[in-house]
Amino acid sequence: MLHLWIEASAITWIEAGAHSLSNSNSPDPIKKIIEEERALAVVRVLHASPLMMSNDGVLQKCVQAYGLACGYEEFRAHLGQLEREGLISSERHEDRVVVRLTQRGADAAQGLIVVDAVARPDPRGSY
């Protein structure tokens, strides 16, 4: 009986915690973490790519492989944010967008600079 009471208390606590997060005026911390990790994955994948460039479709598949999947429109919005931050440049070629890493993006990928919208690289080199 005690075991059931503990489980019920944990569920109540979790539900209360989730409720307080959703009512907060601050940005969702989980969404922010995922977006920053996604940005890091993009610059790290580009940094490891030949000529430090790729197309948006390949980049999106690489990001999905790291468990950071999102829809195409959301992914394009992320690429736009990285371009505004000066980390990448892009140009349209027919039905694809070719994305190139800038020097600033290479510095962020290696952890040499801190960019608010990009997670810091893990010393273990997760991507």
Looking up residue 99, the CATH number of its domain turns out to be: 1.10.10.10
The tokens of 56 are what? 């948006």
CA contacts within 13 A on the Cβ side of 67 = 4
Tens digits of residue pLDDT in 20-65 = 444 456 679 999 999 999 999 999 999 999 999 999 999 999 999 9
Residue 79 lies in a domain: yes
Residue 33 lies in a domain: yes
What is the per-residue pLDDT for 125? 64
What is the per-residue pLDDT for 13? 34
Residue 70 lies in a domain: yes
Residue 117 lies in a domain: no
Structure pTM? 0.77
Q: How confident is the model at residue 10 (pLDDT cuts 50, 70, 90)?
A: very low
Its domain, for residue 69, covers 26-109
Tens digits of residue pLDDT in 66-101 = 999 999 999 999 999 999 999 999 999 988 999 999
Count of structural domains, the chain: 1
Residue 83 lies in a domain: yes
Paired strand residues for 91: 98
Residue 13 lies in a domain: no
Residue of 35, 107, 28 lying closest to 78 (CA atoms): 35
